Amino acid sequence: MKLLFVVDPLPGLKAYKDSSVAMMRAAVARGHAVFATEARRLQVEDGVTHAACDALDVRNDDDWYRITETAANALMDFDAVVMRTDPPVDTDYLLATQLLGIAESNGARVLNRPACLRDFNEKLAILNFPQFIAPTLVSADATTVGHFLDRHHDIIVKPLTEMGGSGIFRLTLNDPNRNAILETLTRNGRRAIMAQHYLPEIREGDKRILLIDGEVVPWALARIPKAGETRGNLAAGGTARAQPLSARDREIAETIAPWAKQHGIFLTGLDVIGDCLTEINVTSPTGFQEIAAQTGHDVGAQFIAAIERA
């Protein structure tokens, strides 16, 4: 197969931790040709989506790739196009999904489907599964969020478009900065945010559970917050610990897996704290390399094998 990965600039990808690198290495190990491009390179001419694509020689050491050739290609000429550009889901990101949608109409197979990248905000998607979530509010009104805090005493507030723990705050009743934080996050009432009841189980980790084409990866990656932090995100200094799925983890994952597959979400990253679902990640879920290193379960190979079957 010929596989095209739409990623952030290659020099910024970390060989030791980026799941996109794990996918590319697994593809090469299984005999496939790997190409890379960036969202900014997408263009449409005569109704066909093209991009300048780098053919890659992918390696297993820190100096993990060489560009062997760069040429313009129609995306429909690849067996699969894997969209792995990181959030924020801003105007540029949404425009890229529009161009990928045109590629899909040309006959390209885009993973995840461009429509689902637009339709399923990673924070709001959990509202499809109220049986699994903690008390949650979405509002741009700081007073309404304040009333939510008054009822729950200890909450997490976060923007709807960021990743890696960016913009997440824990608020308690006596926090002297509560008004300033809410005014900043809501942009003085112009942008909705999410507030959730604080889950003390975060001390045991924010668990990442991966779904690949409707199949549940049997290991979760618990991101343990560093001392003094309420965020377990690895980007915020959390420590990764692979662990088997609990019965509750599996219940959540097996309920969501067919929904994700039905909507064209080929790769899904569920975030679970304690017994509660907190996010459904569809843009560029991670955790492949940490799970493989600690358990021997090659998530990258599972991902590529699922593309082969499809």
Domain topology for 2-118:
Rossmann fold (3.40.50)
pLDDT digits (tens, 9 = 90+) for 57-101: 999 999 999 999 999 999 999 999 999 999 888 999 999 999 999
What are the sequence ranges of the domains in the chain? 2-118, 124-128+200-298, 135-197
Domain 135-197 annotated CATH 3.40.920.10? no
Note if the pTM is more than 0.85. Answer: yes
> Cα dihedral angle (69, 80, 21, 52), rounded to 10 degrees?
30
Number of helices (H), then strands (E), belonging to the chain: the values are: 8, 17
pLDDT digits (tens, 9 = 90+) for 250-302: 999 999 999 999 999 999 999 999 999 999 999 999 999 999 999 999 999 99
pLDDT digits (tens, 9 = 90+) for 154-185: 999 999 988 777 889 999 999 999 999 999 99
**Which one-letter DSSP state was computed for residue 10?**
G
Q: Are 19 and 286 in contact (CB under 8 A)?
A: yes
Q: Are 217 and 291 in contact (CB under 8 A)?
A: yes
Question: What b/e string do you get for 227-261 counting C-beta neighbours within 10 Å, with b at 16 or more?
Answer: eeebbbbbebbbebebbebeeebeebbeebbebbb
For residue 129, give the 3-state DSSP assignment.
Answer: coil
Q: Which CATH superfamily is domain 124-128+200-298 in?
A: ATP-grasp fold, B domain (3.30.470.20)
What type of residue sits at position 225?
P
Q: What per-residue confidence (pLDDT) applies to 2? A: 98
Provide the percentage of residues in the chain whose pLDDT is more than 70.
97
Catalytic residues, which ones?
A: 123, 158, 208, 223, 231, 271, 279, 281
